[in-house]
Structure 1
């Protein structure tokens, strides 16, 4: 409840805009809801685009109809089991908004055995007839600001849909049945919305490629591709074809087709609800299987890109297009190969009915070598439209920079952390007359520290960059605990029970490495770990060599051994936490002996 109050207080001002720009039209105050409805209804419409391969799209539409007919002919009903129903209910996310009918997850979870049996019987009939009632397809769409660009522009918002709780359960059951097939088909370059992994592994591939290029003194080029409203413009017929090709069961294909046929939504804004409008295309962001469907939809692109043999390689390991859901990054040491891969991605987008935006898709030449290849102005392009060549850009929340990504990311993180800290002042997170020290430190580590340290376990800053984060971290603690500016460092850590920033980053980096050791041996990150730890010397820039040095610092056995004999998640966490805390406890205690005022303290 306490954290819910904090969340409500922090979010009070975020929805207050008095003007909304939708294309060339401006909506004010009470009319803003109409503007949202216009914007999202436009996105949901299937509008012919002369830039798409419309002949191909028409063929796919006809093919999708044939696929549905085949599935209906071969269809065999697979009844819903008690285990599937229980798992679907337990997987529902709690503390979420109510749906169109005023029902939320808690109503189902606490509804008892009788309700579960009734719902199982009801859903089983839907599965038997391959039909989902239109009334279960009405979603409530909430505009959510992307935290970039003009806050008054509709294009800088994404629509998150709250689907009816009943249809969520149907989607959950389909996901339980089909997720193994989806994961089996998923390209190793796709790291988004995947269980037991993190999107940061996508960034790790890019970072390791940069470090490898630095070792080999080769230039590095990164193209960050931006698909316009990628989730919102998925062509349903293309999706059905993709499901069939992936080996999804006939029953699930029919149900997914029914789920998106005649689907509708309405926009909710400041407790007002718009008129209902039809969803003709796209997968709903917020749906239980939407992310999985999108990954299948875009999967052939990654297969094609990696199948060319072009682009980024670390040894014999291909990593040309690390991807997190719809965020595709193409990497290469060769500018010509980069353009070839961009062309492939552009052609794929034409066939699949979405637009790559040339002005928002950017190229970043990374300074990993003194060697340079002469490149003509406007060399990189999407459909002959020049792509901007920039010094820095954001990718999965991390600042990719031509010269020093760690510095730029650290600076941006400190800005965000400072804003987050200010937003929490209303809850009592300040010095005198504020919350008690224990609660204040807990809030700091719950809401601010994740923002301050985000992505730094990949970049592993050192020297002046680490010092600046270290000073910022200490300053925050001193302000919250009302300590004097000249308070000795050991006293700051003793009183707050905190670790220095270096220790926090090492803990996060080793946690990520533990995730890699437990991954399947076919994953790119596991193969990279094995290769780099076997072949690279201690002089290498490799991230994995940095991890090796961190392990040695904390007297952890050779990290290479954990690849072949991985510890469980809790065992690994216990090991690294104990080692890091022991090291820094001893170090802080020794440093405290240098201060006469701290000699009586034992930590």
Structure 2
């Protein structure tokens, strides 16, 4: 085993040296970080009550996640949300009656995204993984082309596309006995991921991204953003001789509380095709997930907000 591990390490190092790339670099970083696993035998339910049974722990996580994905009145100024709601409600019937045709998806548009699916990931709730699709993509591509074009034509997403299994993962340096110390990593159906990959080029065709956005951008990272900040600091100190003021904002659980209505309104402003807009709207309707915890899978709960 030691010999196998040594040879595996040498192979990775050789690949990095022979073919330097950002992907190989981050693989090396993640490999050297190691796996920090934290387990707990109990989850706190209250000040004086702990849950030790995995089934009840899964139920506690399910209650916490369900509450997290329900919109709440946080005493915000809701004028903007109300305007977005009014516009979305007005857009829907207009788009329904518009006779706008969307060019059918081609088999090539299905074949290429299958190759982009990440391998080595957990199987979904139906026991399907990316490897299944990749191995048989020449056979499956025409089948998925027919299915996806039917979905686009009817603008209705099958209900099983909108399900998932959420696994609680402990945040770094957090108390493992508290449910709020965990973030949910959701395994969505592999076919749903493929459908999203297929639609993505058409959805992003009209997007104009800000030049200063570094997260979720191919070829860029937060390290580059940090480099710009450090350069500003150096220039302020050595050239302009003026103080530099910087404000950092940490939005906790930001992605979990995104309003679907506001998200759809932003998509409308981007000018995406009416049919695509209706498909995304339906994709966010009646979403649900189940908690998986120490082998236990709980009942599904609705997801009413969040990306």
Is the shorter-chain TM-score for this pair beyond 0.5, marking a shared fold? yes
**Separation of aligned partners in 2, 1:44 and 1:231:** 10
**TM-aligned CA deviation for residue 209 of structure 1:** 1.3
**What corresponds to 1:261 in structure 2?**
285
**What corresponds to 2:235 in structure 1?**
212
**What corresponds to 1:416 in structure 2?**
none
Match of 1:243 among 267, 279, 287: 267
**What corresponds to 1:16 in structure 2?**
39
**What corresponds to 2:168 in structure 1?**
143
Query: What secondary structure sits across from 1:225 in the alignment?
Result: coil
Match of 2:306 among 282, 292, 301: 282
The verdict on how the C-alpha distance between 1:73 and 1:204 changes in structure 2, with shifts beyond 3 A counting, is: farther
**What corresponds to 1:227 in structure 2?**
251
**What corresponds to 1:64 in structure 2?**
88
Q: How many residues align?
A: 275
Query: What secondary structure sits across from 2:164 in the alignment?
Result: strand
Comparing 134-143 with 59-68, greater Cα deviation is found at 59-68
Query: What secondary structure sits across from 1:72 in the alignment?
Result: helix
8 A contact 2:38–2:170 mirrored in 1: no
RMSD over aligned CA atoms reads 2.3
**What corresponds to 1:91 in structure 2?**
116
**What corresponds to 1:200 in structure 2?**
223
**TM-aligned CA deviation for residue 128 of structure 1:** 1.0
8 A contact 2:39–2:176 mirrored in 1: no
**Separation of aligned partners in 2, 1:147 and 1:133:** 36
Superposed counterparts of 1:171-570, under 5 Å: 171-182=196-207, 185-215=208-238, 216-283=240-307
1:164 aligns to 2:184 (yes or no):
no
Query: What secondary structure sits across from 2:246 in the alignment?
Result: strand
1:129 aligns to 2:154 (yes or no):
yes
User: For structure 2, which runs of at least 5 residues remain unmatched after alignment?
Assistant: 9-29
Higher Cα Rg: structure 1 or 2?
A: 1
The verdict on how the C-alpha distance between 1:181 and 1:272 changes in structure 2, with shifts beyond 3 A counting, is: same
Could you report, residue by residue, the CA deviation over 1:9-48 in whole angstroms, capped at 9, with x for unpaired residues? x65x725212234686753342221221111111111222
**Separation of aligned partners in 1, 2:188 and 2:46:** 27
Could you report, residue by residue, the CA deviation over 1:91-125 in whole angstroms, capped at 9, with x for unpaired residues? 11101011111111111111242222111111110
8 A contact 1:22–1:155 mirrored in 2: no
**Separation of aligned partners in 1, 2:81 and 2:285:** 18
The verdict on how the C-alpha distance between 1:149 and 1:175 changes in structure 2, with shifts beyond 3 A counting, is: same
Query: What secondary structure sits across from 1:224 in the alignment?
Result: coil
**TM-aligned CA deviation for residue 261 of structure 1:** 0.3
**TM-aligned CA deviation for residue 224 of structure 1:** 1.8
The verdict on how the C-alpha distance between 1:159 and 1:137 changes in structure 2, with shifts beyond 3 A counting, is: same
Comparing 23-32 with 112-121, greater Cα deviation is found at 23-32
**What corresponds to 1:102 in structure 2?**
127
8 A contact 2:114–2:194 mirrored in 1: yes
Which has the higher relative contact order, 1 or 2, with Cα contacts under 8 A spaced 6 or more apart?
Answer: 2
Structure 2 length as normaliser, TM-score?
0.82
**What corresponds to 1:78 in structure 2?**
103
Could you report, residue by residue, the CA deviation over 1:38-79 in whole angstroms, capped at 9, with x for unpaired residues? 111111112222x21234323321211222333333342321
Query: What secondary structure sits across from 1:203 in the alignment?
Result: helix
**What corresponds to 1:54 in structure 2?**
78
Query: What secondary structure sits across from 1:223 in the alignment?
Result: coil
Could you report, residue by residue, the CA deviation over 1:158-217 in whole angstroms, capped at 9, with x for unpaired residues? 2121111111111111112223423xx211121111112222112122111111111222
Superposed counterparts of 1:576-587, under 5 Å: none
User: For structure 1, which runs of at least 5 residues remain unmatched after alignment?
Assistant: 284-603
Comparing 39-48 with 24-33, greater Cα deviation is found at 24-33
